[in-house]
Amino acid sequence: MAETKKCIEYIYLKSDDINKYKNHIFVIPIGSIEQHCGLPLGLDSIIVSKIASDLCKVMNDVIIMPTIYYGFSPEWYNAKGTITLDMETFSGIIKSILNSIAKFGGKKIVFLNGHGGNSYILESVLREWISNNSETIILLINYWKVLNINIGHAGNVEKSIAKALNINIEESECNGKIDLYNGNAKIIVSGPKEESKTQEINEINLNHDDIILKIKEEIIKALNFVNEESGSFIL
C-alpha cells in the first residue's frame, strides 16, 4: 500500500516527494524484542506497529515511519530471547533518525512507544536533542498512559490490548511471575533468568476504537496546545 486518502507509509515514498510531506506528522513506533513469558518476543513492537497503522487511517497528514523494533531492555537481558540495545546505541539511533528528519524539514514528530523500559532514556535523549532544534515539535506517547492503564508485563492486560487490536496471539501456559514492590524506592537488581510476567487478575474492557481514537485525540490536543502557545516543546 503506497498511499490512501489519509495514510502514507514512509518506506513507499520517493526522494523527490519528500518536500510535499515535510509538514506532515511523522509517527515513529518504537518497541522492544524481549521475553514476554508465553507471548511473542516482539509484542511491544507489534502493538505499536498496529496502533500506528490503524491510527493513520483516521488522521490526515500523517506519515508512518518504519517501526524501531529494538529497544532498551537490560532488565530482561538474562532471559532467553531478549535482544537489547545498550544506552549509547539506543541514543545514537534516536538522534540519527531525528537528525535525518530535521534535515529534510520535518517539524512534527511523534514517538509512539510500546515499552516501559524505553520511556526514561527516550525522554532524556529527546530533551537533549530538542535543545538544539527548537523549531521541531516532538510528542512522546507512551500508549498505556494515554489509555490510563497499568500495562504490566506479558500479563492479562497486555494480552487484552493485543486482542482488542486484533493481533493474533496464542494462549500460553507460561506461569513465571514478577513480584512488584509497592513502596516508593526504586529497586535496581539483575533481571530474572527465566520468563516472567505480572499477574493481573482482570482483563481490560477497551475495544479497538477506544484505543485508536484516544491516542488520536491526544496527538491532536498536544499539537494544538503547542500551536496555541507558539513555542516548541517536548511533551
Per the CB < 8 A criterion, the answer to whether 32 and 46 are in contact is no
Per the CB < 8 A criterion, the answer to whether 137 and 226 are in contact is yes
178, 162, 181: which is closest to 170 by C-alpha? 162
Distance set, CA 53 to CA 58, 140, 178 (Å): 10, 17, 31
User: To the nearest 10°, the Cα dihedral for 111, 116, 118, 121?
Assistant: 110
For residue 4, the model assigns a pLDDT of 41
Per residue in 150-200, pLDDT tens?
999 999 999 999 999 999 998 778 888 888 888 999 888 888 899 999 988
Q: Helix 43-55 to helix 156-164 angle, to the nearest 10 degrees?
A: 30
For residue 228, the model assigns a pLDDT of 77
For residue 233, the model assigns a pLDDT of 55
Residue at grid coordinates 517501526: 67
Q: How many CB atoms lie within 10 A of CB 81?
A: 13
